[in-house]
Amino acid sequence: MWDVAKCNFCGDCFVQCRYVDYDREKAISEIKLLAAGKEADILKHCITCVACTEYCPTGADPSDLVFKMQEKTGTAPLVMNNMPVRESLAKGLEGQGDPVEFIPGDPDKPVLSLDSFEYKNFPEGTLGSRLFQGMTVVRGPQYMSLTGCVHMGGQSFVEKYAARVIGKLAELNKDIVYIHNEGYTLAHVKARELGIDVPFKYQHLFEYLLDYLKKNQRDITKLDKKVAVQVNCATRWLPGQDAWLDDIFRLIGVERPPRRYERRNALCCSGPVIGINREMAVDMQEKNVQDALDCGAEAMITICPICDAVMRRPTSRLGLPKLFITDLCRIALGEMAWPDK
Ligand code: SF4
Ligand code: SF4
């Protein structure tokens, strides 16, 4: 959450933003305008990648301020373009959209939350995999993780609906495993910032996979592959999750080759800009995949269903297999074969 008291107006956030070309003086003037509640040039260029929150050395959370101001002014292309989407999401959160879905499982196992995603947004066989066998599964608009609403000009959705979404999951009276890291972000970062109690235990998908793989090490065949990673925006709120991913890779014999666009320097999948600047989106996608190929990657993993859908076209066009993280683990466990190009 934006905290003006932590900001020293150094300008690092927007100097490092890869989607504008500001010198320090311009960056400082932009953050000062926003902090004063005024319109600023950055609002129309920001693609909501959340990276500046990771770049900020003081924890002031500048991307939150940008998203608040984008919603308040309503002038950014991304905000104007997505008004119907925001209205539809609000209806779903109010219980006027699709009903929630619930697949009952073993009472002793945790619940797998799919967020508001549909089953088809995950690779075929995901729910039938041994990874999630016997788990209760829930999905639907009322379980939406909310943090991604910033891509549509809906920063306020977190404040408005976080308690309701957490309450809906609490009704299940079970531990929760979030298959999408934005759900974990809502519980672990945003709810805390808003002082909302989370009355259940919860796990990030990577934590869950790591536990599962450690318990089933005898079934793992080391893959001996180089794999590039396409992280999503929520990673910026949870930089520590990279360490879990590195541990998963070590366990299954995968090398994450150093490349230009990763970790702090990762590129957004381009999902938020496809509807407003297709040319820019395609350019970002192809630079990203080419970079992975150039560093010797034999596949690229995704960790978010939106990134996964966005990266389908460029990875297929440039001949780099794309795998959702769960499928990479399933290959190591012998449930699937390594994909053809
Ligand atoms: S938000 Fe952070 S990076 Fe940006 S000006 Fe303030 S302290 Fe510097
Ligand atoms: S969220 Fe991303 S695009 Fe927006 S200002 Fe921050 S770094 Fe730039």
Cα(300) to centroid of ligand 2, in Å? 24
Residue in this structure with the two tokens 């619930």, named with its chain if needed: 102
Q: Which of 1, 2, 13 most suits a substitution to test ligand 1, by most atoms within 8 Å of the C-beta?
A: 13
Q: Does domain 218-332 have CATH number 3.90.1170.40?
A: no
**CA 43, CA 41: separation in Å to the nearest integer?**
5
Q: Going by CA atoms, what residue is nearest to atom 8 of ligand 1?
A: 10
Q: If pLDDT is split at 50, 70 and 90, which confidence band does 98 have? A: confident
What are phi and psi for residue 227, nearest 5 degrees?
A: -130, 130
For 323, the 3-state DSSP assignment is strand
**CA 214, CA 244: separation in Å to the nearest integer?**
12
Predicted confidence (pLDDT) at residue 341 exceeds the cutoff of 70: no
The ranges assigned to domains in the chain are 4-75, 83-200, 218-332
Q: Going by CA atoms, what residue is nearest to atom 6 of ligand 2?
A: 52
Q: What is the pLDDT of residues 257-302, one digit of tens each?
A: 999 999 999 999 999 999 999 999 999 999 999 999 999 999 999 9
Predicted confidence (pLDDT) at residue 169 exceeds the cutoff of 90: yes
Of 241, 142, 230, 136, residue with least CA distance to 184: 241
pTM, two decimals, is: 0.95
* Other CB atoms within 10 Å distance of the CB of residue 220: 16
| Predicted local confidence at residue 164, as pLDDT | 96
Q: For residue 31, which ligand has an atom nearest its CA?
A: 1
Q: For residue 5, which ligand has an atom nearest its CA?
A: 1
